[in-house]
Amino acid sequence: MNQHFLFRTFLLLACFALTGSAAAQTIPQDSSVQVSITTTDGNEYVGYIVDQTPEHISLKTETLGTINIPKKIIKTVQTVRKEQIVDGEYWYDNPYGTRYFFGPNGYGLRKGEGYYQNAWIFFNQFSYGITDNFTIGAGIVPLFLFSGTSTPVWITPKISVPLSKDKINLGVGGLFAAVLGEDDGSFGVAYGQLTFGPRDRNLNLGLGYGYAGDDWASTPTVSVSGMYRTSKKLALMTENYIFDTGDEDLFYLLSFGMRFIGRRTAIDAGLFFPTADGDFFAVPWLGLNVALGNPSND
């Protein structure tokens, strides 16, 4: 795949995701629909819109009663989905539920939803939901900033299909990469993912075939991953891979960690455990996620 095409795609998607986060809000007109309203001063209110004028929105909340919020200070208005109310408590949305530390699952971003992911400073990726069934991502390791001549870039298209809504989701996609500055530096993986359970509490089985240049792997890589959101602000995660090295030996990459979920940001922290030839050691993982864009209220 053309290296410059991948780099331009990364820049275009980054701009698209950033400008999408500032798009005008569609305010639901149905008073029976629960909404979340965030304001420019950092507050968030959850309730039902009972009235609105050109100047303000009247929101009926459970704890504050009916309050009037000036439209000029409203930052976002989003429909609260039923799965966001857990035991009577409103949970922040989790747009990062489409993947684990790095690897994807069968879910895709909703239309208009996006995020920026950074891991260990160098790894950068933007992802955006073009439709409810198609997500595109683009990433870069900007080694050129450090006098490096070889810079990895990639795109990550994914098609997601709900086989049973919020119960079983199928995802098919790939990571297609190249190294800027090298004539033959293309590599990547094509995969399929089957996820059981909703976005916040699921088990995922995956199968992928990697390639480098024109050569494809003769055996697949198997992945078994999972996520369990225990509270409004915390989820447990595991992401695990089984590789066939071609020498009648298997290489295992195991992991466990947590995702700390905020209103518009999340932090991933965990440990990866490569195991081969009886060796066992831990590699730390630290990642930052920032929500961009706003999902459709349809």
> What are the extents of the domains in the chain?
3-20+94-293, 34-79
Average pLDDT of span 47-56:
89
pLDDT at 53: 86
pLDDT at residue 32, as a whole number? 78
Q: Model pTM? A: 0.84
Residues above pLDDT 70, as percent of the chain: 87
Q: Is the confidence at residue 237, as pLDDT, over 90?
A: yes
Pull the structure tokens for residue 81: 């989905």
Which of 149 and 49 is assigned the larger pLDDT? 49
Closest CA to 104 of 239, 287, 209, 270: 239
Q: Among 14-28, 59-73, 283-297, which is the least confidently predicted range?
A: 14-28
What is the model's pLDDT at position 8?
59
Beta-bridged to residue 140, according to DSSP, are 124, 153
Measured in whole angstroms, the distance separating CA 222 from the mean position of its chain's CA atoms is 21
- CA neighbor of 77 nearest in space, from 29, 139, 124: 29
Q: If you average pLDDT over every residue of the chain, what do you get?
A: 87
Class of domain 34-79: mainly beta
Q: CA-based diameter of the chain, in Å?
A: 70
pLDDT by residue (tens digit) across 103-145?
Answer: 999 999 999 889 999 999 889 999 999 999 999 999 999 887 7
Query: Which three-class secondary structure state does DSSP give residue 19?
Result: helix
pLDDT above 60: residue 270: yes
Exposure on the CB side of residue 278, measured as CA atoms within 13 A: 0
Average pLDDT rounded to a whole number, residues 227-250: 90
Q: Is residue 120 a contact partner of residue 8, using CB atoms and an 8 Å limit?
A: no
**Could you report how far apart the first and last alpha carbons of the chain are, in Å?**
36
Calpha distance 139→224 (Å, rounded): 24
Pairing state of beta strands 158-164 and 187-196?
unpaired
- What confidence category does residue 296 fall into, taking pLDDT thresholds of 50, 70 and 90? low
* Distance separating alpha carbons of residues 56 and 271, to the nearest angstrom: 48
| Run of H or E including 257 | strand 250-261
* Closest to 36 measured CA to CA, from 24, 25, 48: 48
| pLDDT greater than 70 at residue 292 | yes
- Residue 14: its H or E element: helix 3-20
Number of residues assigned to the chain: 298
Any idea which fold 3-20+94-293 has? Porin (2.40.160)
Angstrom distances, CA of residue 213 to CA of 68, 126, 156, 209: 60, 25, 17, 13
